[in-house]
Amino acid sequence: METNRYHEPVLKQEVNTLLGVETGQVYIDATLGGGGHTKEILAKGGKVLGIDQDNDSVQFVSNEFKLDIERGNLIVSLGNFRNIKTIAHLHDYSRVDGILFDLGVSSHQLDAGEKGLSFQRNADLDMRLDEELGVKASDLINGLGLKELTLLFTKYGEEPFAYKIAKKIVEVRKTRSLVTTYDLSDLILHTVRTKGHMHPATRVFQALRIAVNDELVNLERALPDALSLLKPKGRLVVISFHSLEDRIVKQTFAKFKERKLGEIITKKPLQATEKEVLTNIRSRSAKLRAFEKL
Ligand SMILES: C[S@@+](CC[C@H](N)C(=O)[O-])C[C@H]1O[C@@H](n2cnc3c(N)ncnc32)[C@H](O)[C@@H]1O
Protein backbone atom coordinates (compact mmCIF):
# COMPACT_ATOMS: atom_id res chain seq x y z
CA MET A 1 0.00 0.00 0.00
CA GLU A 2 1.28 3.45 -0.85
CA THR A 3 1.65 6.13 1.90
CA ASN A 4 -1.36 8.23 0.91
CA ARG A 5 -3.66 5.23 0.70
CA TYR A 6 -2.64 4.27 4.23
CA HIS A 7 -3.47 7.77 5.42
CA GLU A 8 -3.90 11.10 3.63
CA PRO A 9 -2.02 13.68 5.73
CA VAL A 10 -4.08 16.70 6.78
CA LEU A 11 -2.96 20.34 6.61
CA LYS A 12 0.19 19.28 4.76
CA GLN A 13 0.91 22.71 3.33
CA GLU A 14 0.39 24.43 6.69
CA VAL A 15 2.66 21.95 8.49
CA ASN A 16 5.35 22.42 5.82
CA THR A 17 5.24 26.20 6.16
CA LEU A 18 5.29 26.14 9.96
CA LEU A 19 8.13 23.65 10.22
CA GLY A 20 10.11 25.45 7.47
CA VAL A 21 12.33 22.41 6.93
CA GLU A 22 15.86 22.98 5.65
CA THR A 23 18.46 20.42 4.64
CA GLY A 24 20.14 18.76 7.60
CA GLN A 25 17.59 19.92 10.18
CA VAL A 26 16.21 17.31 12.58
CA TYR A 27 12.60 16.59 13.50
CA ILE A 28 10.46 14.28 15.57
CA ASP A 29 7.22 13.01 14.08
CA ALA A 30 5.51 11.83 17.27
CA THR A 31 2.59 10.25 15.40
CA LEU A 32 4.11 8.57 12.39
CA GLY A 33 0.97 6.82 11.00
CA GLY A 34 1.59 6.13 7.31
CA GLY A 35 4.51 8.57 7.26
CA GLY A 36 2.66 11.18 5.18
CA HIS A 37 4.06 14.20 7.04
CA THR A 38 7.45 12.53 7.51
CA LYS A 39 7.68 12.05 3.74
CA GLU A 40 7.41 15.83 3.28
CA ILE A 41 10.16 16.51 5.82
CA LEU A 42 12.46 13.93 4.21
CA ALA A 43 11.78 15.37 0.75
CA LYS A 44 13.12 18.75 1.94
CA GLY A 45 16.32 17.20 3.29
CA GLY A 46 15.31 16.93 6.94
CA LYS A 47 16.05 13.99 9.22
CA VAL A 48 13.27 12.37 11.21
CA LEU A 49 12.75 10.29 14.30
CA GLY A 50 9.27 8.81 13.81
CA ILE A 51 7.31 7.37 16.71
CA ASP A 52 4.10 5.36 16.70
CA GLN A 53 2.57 3.07 19.29
CA ASP A 54 0.93 0.91 16.62
CA ASN A 55 3.16 -1.87 15.36
CA ASP A 56 1.29 -1.91 12.05
CA SER A 57 2.31 1.70 11.35
CA VAL A 58 5.93 1.01 12.31
CA GLN A 59 6.07 -2.03 10.01
CA PHE A 60 4.43 -0.14 7.16
CA VAL A 61 6.80 2.85 7.36
CA SER A 62 9.84 0.60 7.83
CA ASN A 63 9.05 -1.07 4.48
CA GLU A 64 7.86 2.01 2.64
CA PHE A 65 10.82 4.20 3.67
CA LYS A 66 13.56 1.54 3.59
CA LEU A 67 15.97 3.72 1.62
CA ASP A 68 15.63 6.70 3.97
CA ILE A 69 16.29 4.40 6.92
CA GLU A 70 19.36 2.88 5.24
CA ARG A 71 20.70 6.36 4.44
CA GLY A 72 20.35 7.35 8.10
CA ASN A 73 17.70 10.00 7.43
CA LEU A 74 14.88 8.23 9.24
CA ILE A 75 14.65 6.29 12.49
CA VAL A 76 11.39 4.49 13.22
CA SER A 77 10.52 3.76 16.82
CA LEU A 78 7.65 1.69 18.24
CA GLY A 79 6.55 3.52 21.37
CA ASN A 80 4.15 5.87 23.06
CA PHE A 81 4.81 9.60 22.68
CA ARG A 82 4.21 10.05 26.39
CA ASN A 83 7.79 8.71 26.58
CA ILE A 84 9.01 11.14 23.90
CA LYS A 85 11.90 12.39 26.03
CA THR A 86 13.35 8.94 26.70
CA ILE A 87 12.85 7.80 23.10
CA ALA A 88 14.49 10.99 21.78
CA HIS A 89 17.47 10.68 24.13
CA LEU A 90 17.97 7.02 23.20
CA HIS A 91 18.26 7.96 19.52
CA ASP A 92 20.30 11.15 20.04
CA TYR A 93 17.39 13.36 18.99
CA SER A 94 17.59 15.53 22.12
CA ARG A 95 17.90 18.90 20.35
CA VAL A 96 15.56 19.16 17.42
CA ASP A 97 14.25 21.85 15.07
CA GLY A 98 10.63 20.79 15.17
CA ILE A 99 8.16 18.27 16.57
CA LEU A 100 4.85 17.30 15.04
CA PHE A 101 1.87 15.68 16.77
CA ASP A 102 -0.93 14.70 14.38
CA LEU A 103 -3.24 13.21 16.97
CA GLY A 104 -5.85 10.50 16.90
CA VAL A 105 -5.98 7.59 14.52
CA SER A 106 -5.02 6.98 10.91
CA SER A 107 -7.49 6.17 8.15
CA HIS A 108 -5.87 2.75 7.93
CA GLN A 109 -6.58 2.06 11.60
CA LEU A 110 -10.22 3.05 11.07
CA ASP A 111 -10.73 1.35 7.73
CA ALA A 112 -8.87 -1.88 8.37
CA GLY A 113 -11.47 -2.39 11.08
CA GLU A 114 -9.67 -4.94 13.19
CA LYS A 115 -9.00 -2.57 16.09
CA GLY A 116 -12.72 -1.99 16.57
CA LEU A 117 -12.40 1.81 16.34
CA SER A 118 -15.21 2.37 13.88
CA PHE A 119 -18.93 1.87 14.38
CA GLN A 120 -19.15 1.41 10.62
CA ARG A 121 -17.26 -1.89 10.67
CA ASN A 122 -18.08 -4.90 12.73
CA ALA A 123 -15.18 -6.09 14.87
CA ASP A 124 -14.22 -6.95 18.42
CA LEU A 125 -14.88 -3.94 20.65
CA ASP A 126 -11.17 -3.53 21.34
CA MET A 127 -9.85 -0.01 20.46
CA ARG A 128 -6.31 -0.54 21.78
CA LEU A 129 -3.87 1.21 19.42
CA ASP A 130 -1.05 -0.55 21.23
CA GLU A 131 -1.91 -4.21 21.54
CA GLU A 132 0.16 -4.48 24.72
CA LEU A 133 -2.35 -2.31 26.60
CA GLY A 134 -4.34 -4.27 29.17
CA VAL A 135 -7.90 -2.98 28.93
CA LYS A 136 -10.17 -3.22 25.89
CA ALA A 137 -13.27 -1.11 25.24
CA SER A 138 -15.44 -4.20 25.81
CA ASP A 139 -13.92 -4.58 29.30
CA LEU A 140 -15.08 -1.06 30.14
CA ILE A 141 -18.53 -1.53 28.59
CA ASN A 142 -19.14 -4.81 30.42
CA GLY A 143 -17.31 -3.98 33.65
CA LEU A 144 -17.97 -0.36 34.67
CA GLY A 145 -20.99 0.60 36.78
CA LEU A 146 -23.81 2.91 35.68
CA LYS A 147 -22.24 5.95 37.32
CA GLU A 148 -18.80 5.32 35.83
CA LEU A 149 -20.14 4.69 32.32
CA THR A 150 -22.17 7.90 32.53
CA LEU A 151 -19.11 9.83 33.68
CA LEU A 152 -16.95 8.32 30.97
CA PHE A 153 -19.35 9.22 28.14
CA THR A 154 -19.83 12.71 29.59
CA LYS A 155 -16.20 13.48 30.31
CA TYR A 156 -14.50 12.00 27.25
CA GLY A 157 -17.37 12.13 24.75
CA GLU A 158 -19.31 15.22 25.87
CA GLU A 159 -22.33 12.96 25.17
CA PRO A 160 -25.63 14.65 26.14
CA PHE A 161 -27.41 11.27 26.46
CA ALA A 162 -24.66 9.70 28.57
CA TYR A 163 -26.97 8.50 31.36
CA LYS A 164 -29.60 7.12 29.00
CA ILE A 165 -27.03 5.13 27.01
CA ALA A 166 -25.24 3.90 30.14
CA LYS A 167 -28.55 2.77 31.65
CA LYS A 168 -29.42 0.79 28.52
CA ILE A 169 -25.96 -0.85 28.49
CA VAL A 170 -26.31 -1.94 32.12
CA GLU A 171 -29.79 -3.33 31.40
CA VAL A 172 -28.82 -5.22 28.23
CA ARG A 173 -25.63 -6.75 29.59
CA LYS A 174 -27.66 -8.59 32.27
CA THR A 175 -28.73 -10.96 29.50
CA ARG A 176 -25.76 -10.80 27.07
CA SER A 177 -22.28 -9.31 26.84
CA LEU A 178 -21.60 -6.50 24.40
CA VAL A 179 -18.55 -7.72 22.55
CA THR A 180 -18.59 -6.20 19.06
CA THR A 181 -18.70 -2.69 17.63
CA TYR A 182 -22.10 -3.45 16.12
CA ASP A 183 -23.44 -4.72 19.49
CA LEU A 184 -22.70 -1.28 20.91
CA SER A 185 -23.60 0.93 17.94
CA ASP A 186 -26.94 -0.89 17.42
CA LEU A 187 -27.77 -0.44 21.09
CA ILE A 188 -27.05 3.29 20.86
CA LEU A 189 -28.99 3.61 17.58
CA HIS A 190 -32.02 2.11 19.28
CA THR A 191 -31.64 4.23 22.42
CA VAL A 192 -31.12 7.81 21.23
CA ARG A 193 -31.89 9.97 18.26
CA THR A 194 -29.55 12.73 17.13
CA LYS A 195 -30.12 15.60 14.78
CA GLY A 196 -27.88 16.28 11.81
CA HIS A 197 -25.28 14.09 10.16
CA MET A 198 -23.50 12.76 13.22
CA HIS A 199 -24.00 9.05 13.91
CA PRO A 200 -25.45 8.70 17.45
CA ALA A 201 -22.57 6.38 18.45
CA THR A 202 -19.83 8.88 17.51
CA ARG A 203 -19.33 10.41 20.95
CA VAL A 204 -19.46 7.14 22.88
CA PHE A 205 -16.88 5.61 20.52
CA GLN A 206 -14.66 8.67 20.98
CA ALA A 207 -14.99 8.43 24.77
CA LEU A 208 -14.05 4.76 24.82
CA ARG A 209 -11.04 5.27 22.54
CA ILE A 210 -9.76 8.12 24.71
CA ALA A 211 -10.15 6.02 27.88
CA VAL A 212 -8.66 2.80 26.50
CA ASN A 213 -5.59 4.60 25.12
CA ASP A 214 -5.31 7.21 27.89
CA GLU A 215 -5.12 9.78 25.12
CA LEU A 216 -5.57 13.00 27.09
CA VAL A 217 -3.08 12.09 29.79
CA ASN A 218 -0.51 11.10 27.16
CA LEU A 219 -0.90 14.47 25.45
CA GLU A 220 -0.69 16.49 28.68
CA ARG A 221 2.44 14.67 29.62
CA ALA A 222 4.12 14.80 26.20
CA LEU A 223 3.80 18.50 25.37
CA PRO A 224 6.15 19.92 28.06
CA ASP A 225 8.66 17.15 27.35
CA ALA A 226 8.47 17.91 23.64
CA LEU A 227 9.16 21.60 24.30
CA SER A 228 12.24 20.66 26.32
CA LEU A 229 13.64 18.80 23.29
CA LEU A 230 13.44 21.81 20.97
CA LYS A 231 16.38 24.02 20.07
CA PRO A 232 15.85 27.78 20.47
CA LYS A 233 13.45 28.87 17.67
CA GLY A 234 12.37 25.24 17.32
CA ARG A 235 8.67 24.69 16.66
CA LEU A 236 6.03 22.49 18.18
CA VAL A 237 3.11 21.80 15.83
CA VAL A 238 0.03 19.99 17.07
CA ILE A 239 -3.02 18.91 15.07
CA SER A 240 -6.03 17.83 17.12
CA PHE A 241 -9.38 16.43 16.07
CA HIS A 242 -11.75 17.13 18.95
CA SER A 243 -12.34 19.86 21.49
CA LEU A 244 -10.90 17.97 24.49
CA GLU A 245 -7.52 17.62 22.79
CA ASP A 246 -7.57 21.13 21.39
CA ARG A 247 -8.32 22.56 24.84
CA ILE A 248 -5.26 20.83 26.29
CA VAL A 249 -3.04 22.17 23.50
CA LYS A 250 -4.44 25.69 23.81
CA GLN A 251 -4.07 25.79 27.60
CA THR A 252 -0.61 24.22 27.57
CA PHE A 253 0.67 26.74 24.99
CA ALA A 254 -0.82 29.58 27.07
CA LYS A 255 1.11 28.29 30.11
CA PHE A 256 4.33 28.05 28.08
CA LYS A 257 3.86 31.68 27.04
CA GLU A 258 3.08 32.80 30.60
CA ARG A 259 6.32 31.18 31.73
CA LYS A 260 8.08 33.11 28.91
CA LEU A 261 9.21 29.92 27.20
CA GLY A 262 8.34 31.23 23.74
CA GLU A 263 5.56 32.51 21.50
CA ILE A 264 2.27 31.15 20.26
CA ILE A 265 2.47 31.40 16.46
CA THR A 266 -1.14 30.57 15.72
CA LYS A 267 -3.29 33.14 17.55
CA LYS A 268 -6.27 31.17 16.27
CA PRO A 269 -5.98 27.53 15.27
CA LEU A 270 -5.47 26.86 11.58
CA GLN A 271 -8.14 24.80 9.87
CA ALA A 272 -8.42 23.03 6.54
CA THR A 273 -9.57 24.99 3.51
CA GLU A 274 -12.89 24.09 1.88
CA LYS A 275 -10.88 22.56 -0.96
CA GLU A 276 -9.02 20.24 1.39
CA VAL A 277 -12.21 19.22 3.19
CA LEU A 278 -13.74 18.30 -0.17
CA THR A 279 -10.91 15.90 -0.96
CA ASN A 280 -10.22 14.68 2.59
CA ILE A 281 -13.25 14.67 4.87
CA ARG A 282 -11.11 13.83 7.92
CA SER A 283 -9.54 17.30 7.70
CA ARG A 284 -12.93 18.87 8.55
CA SER A 285 -12.38 18.72 12.30
CA ALA A 286 -8.61 19.29 12.31
CA LYS A 287 -7.23 22.23 14.30
CA LEU A 288 -3.58 23.12 14.16
CA ARG A 289 -1.73 25.09 16.83
CA ALA A 290 1.97 25.95 16.79
CA PHE A 291 4.42 27.26 19.39
CA GLU A 292 7.95 28.58 18.87
CA LYS A 293 10.49 28.10 21.63
CA LEU A 294 12.43 31.16 22.76
C1 LIG B 1 -3.60 10.78 12.45
S2 LIG B 1 -2.45 9.47 12.49
C3 LIG B 1 -0.96 10.21 11.92
C4 LIG B 1 -0.86 10.25 10.43
C5 LIG B 1 0.45 10.74 9.89
N6 LIG B 1 0.72 12.13 10.25
C7 LIG B 1 0.50 10.58 8.38
O8 LIG B 1 0.55 11.59 7.67
O9 LIG B 1 0.46 9.45 7.89
C10 LIG B 1 -2.13 9.30 14.20
C11 LIG B 1 -1.12 8.21 14.54
O12 LIG B 1 -0.67 8.47 15.85
C13 LIG B 1 -0.53 7.27 16.55
N14 LIG B 1 -0.67 7.58 17.98
C15 LIG B 1 -1.76 8.03 18.63
N16 LIG B 1 -1.48 8.22 19.93
C17 LIG B 1 -0.17 7.90 20.09
C18 LIG B 1 0.71 7.90 21.21
N19 LIG B 1 0.30 8.26 22.42
N20 LIG B 1 1.99 7.51 21.02
C21 LIG B 1 2.42 7.14 19.79
N22 LIG B 1 1.63 7.11 18.70
C23 LIG B 1 0.35 7.49 18.84
C24 LIG B 1 -1.63 6.38 16.01
O25 LIG B 1 -1.30 5.03 16.20
C26 LIG B 1 -1.67 6.79 14.53
O27 LIG B 1 -0.86 5.97 13.75
Distance CA 50, CA 74 (A): 7
Q: Is the pLDDT of residue 193 over 90?
A: no
The closest residue, in CA terms, to atom 5 on ligand 1 is 33
Q: Is the pLDDT of residue 148 over 90?
A: yes
- Residues of the chain with pLDDT > 90: what percent? 95
Please say whether the beta carbons of 16 and 38 come within 8 A.
no
The closest residue, in CA terms, to atom 15 on ligand 1 is 104
The closest residue, in CA terms, to atom 13 on ligand 1 is 31
**What's the pTM?**
0.96
In order, the DSSP letters of 172-211 are: HTTTS---BHHHHHHHHHTT----SSS-TTHHHHHHHHHH
Q: Is the pLDDT of residue 4 over 90?
A: no
Ligand 1 center to residue 228 CA distance, Å? 21
- Sign of the alpha-carbon dihedral angle for 37, 229, 237, 30: positive
Q: What is the pLDDT of residue 96?
A: 98
Q: For the chain, what are the domain ranges? A: 3-108+215-293, 116-213
User: pLDDT digits over 204-215, tens only?
Assistant: 999 999 999 999
Q: Is the pLDDT of residue 113 over 90?
A: no
Distance CA 293, CA 262 (A): 4
In angstroms, the first-to-last Cα distance of the chain is 41
Atom of ligand 1 nearest to the CA of 129: 25
Mutate to test the pocket of ligand 1, among 49, 77, 100, 106 (most ligand atoms within 8 A of CB): 106
Confidence band of 195 (pLDDT split at 50, 70, 90): confident
Q: What is the pLDDT of residue 2?
A: 78
Q: What is the mean pLDDT of residues 65-94?
A: 98
For the segment(s) 3-108+215-293, the CATH number from 3.40.50.150, 3.40.50.2000, 2.60.40.10, 3.10.620.30 is 3.40.50.150
CATH hierarchy code of domain 116-213: 1.10.150.170
User: pLDDT digits over 14-72, tens only?
Assistant: 999 999 999 999 999 999 999 999 999 999 999 999 999 999 999 999 999 999 999 99
Q: Is the pLDDT of residue 114 over 90?
A: no
Q: At what angle do helices 162-172 and 146-157 cross, to 10 degrees?
A: 140
Q: Counting runs of H as helices and runs of E as strands, what totals does the chain give?
A: 15, 7
Angstrom distances, CA of residue 174 to CA of 143, 168, 170, 171, 182: 11, 10, 7, 6, 18
**245 or 1, higher pLDDT:** 245
